[in-house]
Amino acid sequence: MNNKEIQRQRMYSYFITACQDLIKEEGMDQLTIRKISDKAGYNSATLYNYFENLDQLKALSLLDNIKPYFYSIRSLYNMDLNLIDRFLLIWREYAKYSFRNPQVYTEVFESSNSDNILSYIDKYFEYFPSDEFSKEDDVYNLVYNRDMKQRDKVLLDPEVGAGYISEKQAKYLISGIYALHIGMCNQVLNGYYDDSDQALNLFMNYLIDMFLLNSNVDENKAELLNRVSSLKLNENM
């Protein structure tokens, strides 16, 4: 990477970080080009040298926020896990990161703006190339695919194929999990829990109850909960 490219990436980072800070401080609805430019220490004209408009900058800022989730899922797919544990751990990681930052994760994955935000993923990795990023792998399709049905298919097809769950059970289960997740995200936003870990522990209890009731898996809940809750991932990026 030459000096010009390094400087360009630095400028991207300055504006993206400023946008992220403002989302935390004031919320997404309050974002303006002027506020972001002032926060980054540059004028609006400079911002437009690097970004097309506010929507693009906002989307790239949100996508930058979910990188830790992307890397955690990549770590899961590199581990020798059975299908049940991997399914539950994927949801554990999503809940963990989304409860820490519910405003961002619900906007990216579970809002009317999701398709538009995820449409910028190629642009994001053009700005910030990653050796770990590949459109061809399951991690991309699970995390960044704009089609929620396709994401669910990647997540559930292995379990259906192995006979752990029927297609009918899969549709019912996934609808219930999404409803549970979005409801708990709203509670986190409204200060219902002492911290995100409390919300995560409750979510995992509910999740495993739902999974065991709507699958053909015969496992002890306490043992399964302990196994998937205690597993550590390498979160280094």
Give the model confidence (pLDDT) of 117-174 as tens digits.
999 988 888 888 776 666 656 777 788 777 777 788 888 999 999 999 999 999 999 9
pLDDT digits (tens, 9 = 90+) for 8-21: 889 999 999 999 99
Q: DSSP readout, 151-207? A: HHHHHHHHHHHTTSS-HHHHHHHHHHHHHHHHHHHHHHHTT-SSSHHHHHHHHHHHH
Banded model confidence at residue 206, pLDDT cuts 50, 70, 90: very high
d(CA 58, CA 32): 10
Alpha-carbon gap, residue 24 to 150, rounded angstroms? 31
Contact 200, 92 (CB under 8 A): yes
pLDDT at 136: 58
For residue 157, how many other CB atoms are within 10 A of its CB?
Answer: 12
More confident residue, 177 or 127: 177
Share of the chain above pLDDT 90, in %: 65
Mean pLDDT of the chain: 89
Kindly state the tokens that stand for 91. Answer: 């949801």
What is the arithmetic mean of pLDDT over 64-86? 90
Per-residue pLDDT of 76-120, as tens digits, reads 888 999 999 999 999 999 999 999 999 999 999 888 888 899 999
Cα–Cα dist 194/196, whole Å: 7
**Per-residue buried b or exposed e for 58-90, using 16+ beta carbons within 10 Å of the residue's own CB:** bbbbbbbbbeebbbbbbbbeeeebebbbbbbbb
Helices 54-65 and 102-109 pack at an angle, to 10 degrees, of 110
| Total-model pTM | 0.89
Query: Residue 93, SS3?
Result: helix
**pLDDT (mean) for 208-221:** 94
Q: Please tell me the distance from the alpha carbon of residue 110 to that of residue 44, in angstroms, as a whole number.
A: 31
pLDDT value at 196 more than 60: yes
Query: What is the pLDDT confidence band of residue 237, given thresholds at 50, 70 and 90?
Result: very low
